[in-house]
Amino acid sequence: MTTAYNKEPSIGIRGRDQDVCRGYAAIGTVLQSRLQNNTKSVVVIECYPGVRQQEIMEGLRPYLHPTDVIEAEAAAIDAAKINGMVERYLTDDRVFGYMAPFHIEEMYDPHKLAKLRERVEAVPEGTVIVIGFGASLVTHGDLLVYADLARWEIQLRYRSKEFGNWLAHNEDEDMLRKYKRGYFHEWRMADRLKRSLFQRIDYYLDTNAQNDPKLALWDAVLDGMEQISRQPFRLVPYFDPGVWGGIWLESKLFLPNKEHPYAWGFDGVPEENSLYLDFGSVRMEVPAINLVFLQPKSLLGERVYSRFGAEFPIRFDFLDTMGGQHLSLQVHPTTDYIQTRFGMPYTQDESYYILDAKPGAQVYLGLKEGVAPEQMLNDLRKAERGGGSFPAEQYVNVFPASKHDHFLIPAGTVHCSGSDCMVLEISATPYIFTFKLWDWDRLGLDGKPRPVHLDHGAQVIQWDRTTSWVERELVGRVELVAEGNGWREERTGLHEFEFIETRRHWFSEPVLHTGNGSVQMLNLVEGEEAVVESPDGMFEPFVVHYAETFIIPASIERFVIRPSGPSVGRTIATIKAFVKG
């Protein structure tokens, strides 16, 4: 199957071209024009952790000519005190922590903040700039600029050692530990602050690309988000190498060569993906989670929003083992365990949709009949200590995997994809909670043993999910739902234990889809091209290509998908996921 997969999908924002500019010269001119009639002006630049603050100041200084520049983080409490506060939430584990409840105010010294406010007030005239993560605590100012960047860009800055975590001075620390501190503490605190400022922001600053900033009037961003919440759209995908990576993503999606093969493709994870917003000739990159925060009801649906809050509960991603290696043998925590041990409200139920596979491909799923838990755990511990390979096939079922098979994996089920599979993973959003039980005697790309979490895994393995139950409940669950002229709809899962439902449509003629009170995430799993249309003209026709994931907001009550381009006259297929009613 060939594909015209779009690696840089963008969304045109209508009617706001004049409210966006690019480059420090243009940005400085815009800001200065807002301040020119003031004898004294205070500009607050609130920053998401990881923003290049020095670059911003160097870029703006020639245009704003500040009388004083105040670095807000000078008023933060000592780094040692911060570490002491968050230590119990980060734990000693290399990967997992506990969701920390902190707000930015707790990280600042009131007396030091008061000194900075006095410094602001002491300037008789001119422009004062207050910048940093927490700058908005110092003063409201005359203008509030919010400087933002995508979660994936933060991770790249961690990896390059350009940045560590906020005030942690840990640039050289293990990447997994930096990510953990971001995930469980820093980003949660930053998102709480960001959301609290939505009614105060004047301008939004995109800082993803080095020395290439874009500034938008905040009202233009709000308008853009409202427009997006009423049309189909795609997230900006990214792809990452891994020790078990294959060749499918690189060869089929025409990705650039890497030293190590691609293992993951993230094309449907709003917490980490971003959105490209085209305001005329200026393209802004915005974290996709901002759309969830700003348009939760229109995007998610009121029923889903009332259940999950402003959080996108569905996730699509790619796992490529074609010509690669097995994934780690793993298990995900039960809901009770993830709530009590990690502070998460729901767990990582998932499924493997086989987008492609070579002959002989396999999926490991569930335990064999009569497995003795202590014997299996003893063999796993022995393998972890280097006492020989774990005999996986002695304990775990192995099923043949073919294109368009769908394997259901409720939390607590032992599983992994074998080599030579291209998996579209459809799951709930808490995406880092994978307890590796065994990793096939290999090291990570960093040369270190990949973390194995056998103690956690032993607490959540559902030992009664054995061969007969798995064959009955998790494999080959395809049920005809409806059919018509040139189309049929099938229910392929997920399991009744899981809150996500999936439906597959095979069609050579246009198919009408109706809303069900939930956001819907889809992927074109067969066929080169399709077009999504609105029967009532609510949105412009939206073209999708093979393997592209796309989102239909809950605000869209009816939409039609039909084959287009080279797929006209052929039978093609989509898989879609939504939250059960």
210-260 per-position pLDDT tens digit = 999 999 999 999 999 999 999 999 999 999 999 999 999 999 999 999 899
Q: How confident is the model at residue 464 (pLDDT cuts 50, 70, 90)?
A: very high
Q: How confident is the model at residue 483 (pLDDT cuts 50, 70, 90)?
A: very high
Does pLDDT of 1 surpass 70?
A: no
Binned at pLDDT 50, 70 and 90, residue 494 comes out as: confident
166/154 Cα distance (integer angstroms) = 11
pTM for the full predicted model? 0.96
Q: In angstroms, how far apart are the furthest CA atoms of the chain?
A: 81
CB 185 within 8 A of CB 84: no
Residue of 580, 525, 533 lying closest to 552 (CA atoms): 533
DSSP state of 10: -
The answer on pLDDT for 495 being more than 90 is no
Percent share of the chain, pLDDT over 70? 99
Buried b (16+ CB within 10 A) or exposed e, 231-246: bbbbbbbbbbbbbbbb
What is the pLDDT, as a whole number, of residue 153? 97
Cβ contacts of 38 within 8 Å, gap of 6 or more: 142
- Which whole number is the average pLDDT over 56-67? 97
356-385: average pLDDT? 96
| Chain Cα centroid distance, residue 356 | 23
Residue 5: is it exposed, middle or buried by C-beta count within 10 angstroms (0-12/13-18/19+)? buried
CA angle 42, 45, 49 (to 5 degrees): 155
Q: What is the pLDDT of residue 389?
A: 92
pLDDT for the residue numbered 493:
76
- pLDDT mean across residues, the chain: 96
pLDDT of residue 417: 98
For 273-324, the pLDDT digits (tens) are 999 999 999 999 999 999 999 999 999 999 999 999 999 999 999 999 999 9
Q: Look at residue 409 and tell me whether its pLDDT is greater than 70.
A: yes
d(CA 338, CA 344): 6
Report helix, strand or coil for 18: helix
Q: Going from the N-terminus, what domains does the chain have, and what CATH number goes with each?
A: 11-228 (3.40.50), 248-473 (2.60.120.10), 479-579 (2.60.120.10)
**Averaged pLDDT, 49-55:** 98
120-153 per-position pLDDT tens digit = 999 999 999 999 999 999 999 999 999 999 999 9
Q: What is the mean pLDDT of residues 321-338?
A: 96
pLDDT at position 2 over 70: no
Residue 22 has pLDDT above 80, yes or no: yes
